Structure formats: structure tokens, C-alpha cells
Amino acid sequence: MPEHFRLTRQGEVAVVTLDRPDRKNPLTFESYAELRDWFRDLRDDPEINAVVFGSNGGNFSSGGDVHDIIGPLVGMDMKDLLKFTRMTGDLVKAMLACGKPVIAAVDGICVGAGAIIAMASDLRIGSPQAKTAFLFARVGLAGCDMGACAMLPRIIGQGRAAELLYTGRSMSAEEGERWGFFNRLVGPDALEAEAVALAQRIAEGPNFAHMMTKTMLAQEWNMTLDQAIEAEAQAQAICMQTEDFRRAYEAFVAREKPVFQGD
């Protein structure tokens, strides 16, 4: 079990939360590293097929801890600063490469690196109380942190992303849903249950094919349309060799619901 975040299981769904609710769940050097390593290992875990990154105590995450991270960074030299920023980026890379769909369940404060974790998730469900801010400019830093300048415009559009990254202002839950950051909003009491139910529904599907979908969603950012179509042709031909594909066909012929096993 992890030491620096909370992990529970509901069937094939892992529920991850930061566990410092008294301080709105900030990240530390240790939790960054442990989350990075956990998501890296997740790719080879056959028992987990979807992840919910949830909120705790009414908040998602307040980002990097002011005392445990921001203070020490002021005294670091360039070598150690680059080591840190690469580590934080490696968490995003690990989330994108884990092969499993990740759903962020965002309640309350979701700022800084917390907003990045939500952004790097595949799907986002928010509560009406969610307040999301990429507030790096408000602490004297650039908005280009942990992939924000690459990923956020793809989710909400270039102009909207630029406004949030330049000003560091909070995006309300209603804005987030209207702009496409949140897939939908639900009440805070139902938030985690809604996210877990969606994760379980996805986990019941063809998980090898889900892994391929997640891989293509990430890789096709760097492809031309012709390259993307060819890559998808190859990916789909691979999926057509799976037992899940055969089961789906046989179930359709028999007018039954297919049972997928991820093979």
C-alpha cells in the first residue's frame, strides 16, 4: 500500500485520493514520486482496469505544498530544480502511458498541480463547487507546467486555455462543463459514486481495446491525419485478433450481452 496517498479498490477500479484533507490535499515531493511510480506500475497490473482519482474532505488538491515544496524550491540550484520539474512531468507521462482509463472526480479546490492531474485524466466529473485554476502565473511562474500548454488547449480551446494560463484565475464548475473540461457535473455527495460507476462500466468493456484507445488518443497528437488513419488501421487490426472481438461477434449472433475478459 502507498505511504503518501490513499488507495482503495472497488472490483477492477482503483480509487486514488490525496490524503491531507486538513490542508486541501497538497502534493509533496514524496507523493509526486509515489504517484508517478504507481501509475508506471499500473500498466502491468492485470487486476485494475480503470482508475478514479478522487477528492477528499471536499477538495481535490491545492497543488504543490507551499511549505514542503515551494519553500525548498526557492533555495535549489538549477540542476535540482530541473530534476524536480522533470519528476512532476513524469507523473503526467505515467498517467498518459498507464494503459488504463483515469477519471478525475473533482470537488472543491483543484489548483496548480492538482488541476494538472485533473487535466491529464481521460475524463473529468466535477461538483458544482469545483474551482479549477492553473495558478502558476500567480506565483511568478510560466503557465507551461507539466504539459499544460500542450494539453489544456486541446480540451477547452486555445483562447480559453490562454486566459486561464495567463491570469491564473479560477474556472468555475459551470464554465468547466460548458467549455468541455468537465464531462458533467453532479452533486458532491454523489460525485465519487458516479465516477466509480462510470469507471466500472468502462472496466467491464474490452480492456485491451481500451488500452489501445488510450494509446492512440495520446500518440495521435503528433501525427498528421494520414498518419493517424494508418495508425488506427493497424491498431484496429490488432484488436480484431483478440478473443474479446470474437466473443462480441458470437454474443451478437446469439443475441446475448458479450462478456469481455481483456484478452
Q: How many residues does the chain have?
A: 263
Residue 99 one-letter amino acid? G
Q: Does residue 66 register a pLDDT over 90?
A: no
CB within 8 Å of 244: residues ≥ 6 apart: 206, 208, 209, 258, 260, 261, 262, 263
Provide the pLDDT confidence category of residue 152 given band limits of 50, 70 and 90: very high
Q: Does residue 74 register a pLDDT over 90?
A: no
State pTM to two decimals. Answer: 0.94
Q: Does residue 1 register a pLDDT over 90?
A: no
pLDDT computed for residue 130 by the predictor: 98
Q: Does residue 263 register a pLDDT over 80?
A: no
C-alpha cell at 242: 483478440
CB within 8 Å of 256: residues ≥ 6 apart: none
- How far is residue 5's CA from residue 185's CA, in Å, rounded to a whole number? 25
pLDDT computed for residue 65 by the predictor: 84
pLDDT computed for residue 104 by the predictor: 98
pLDDT (average), residues 114-130: 98
Number of H helices, E strands in the chain: 11, 9
Strands laid side by side in the 6-10 sheet: 6-10, 13-17, 50-53, 102-106, 123-126, 184-185
Determine what percent of the chain is predicted with pLDDT higher than 70.
Answer: 100
> Over the Cα atoms of the chain, what is R_g?
19
Determine what percent of the chain is predicted with pLDDT higher than 90.
Answer: 90
Provide the pLDDT confidence category of residue 70 given band limits of 50, 70 and 90: confident
C-alpha cell at 186: 453532479
240-259 residues labelled b (16+ CB within 10 A) or e (exposed):
eebebbebbeeeeeeeeebe
pLDDT per residue as tens digits for the range 13-59: 999 999 999 999 999 999 999 999 999 999 999 999 999 999 999 99
- How far is residue 8's CA from residue 252's CA, in Å, rounded to a whole number? 35
pLDDT computed for residue 262 by the predictor: 79
pLDDT (average), residues 177-205: 97
92-121 residues labelled b (16+ CB within 10 A) or e (exposed):
bbbbbebbbbbbbbbbbbbbbbbbbbbbbb
More confident residue, 259 or 164: 164
Provide the pLDDT confidence category of residue 175 given band limits of 50, 70 and 90: very high
- How far is residue 19's CA from residue 87's CA, in Å, rounded to a whole number? 20
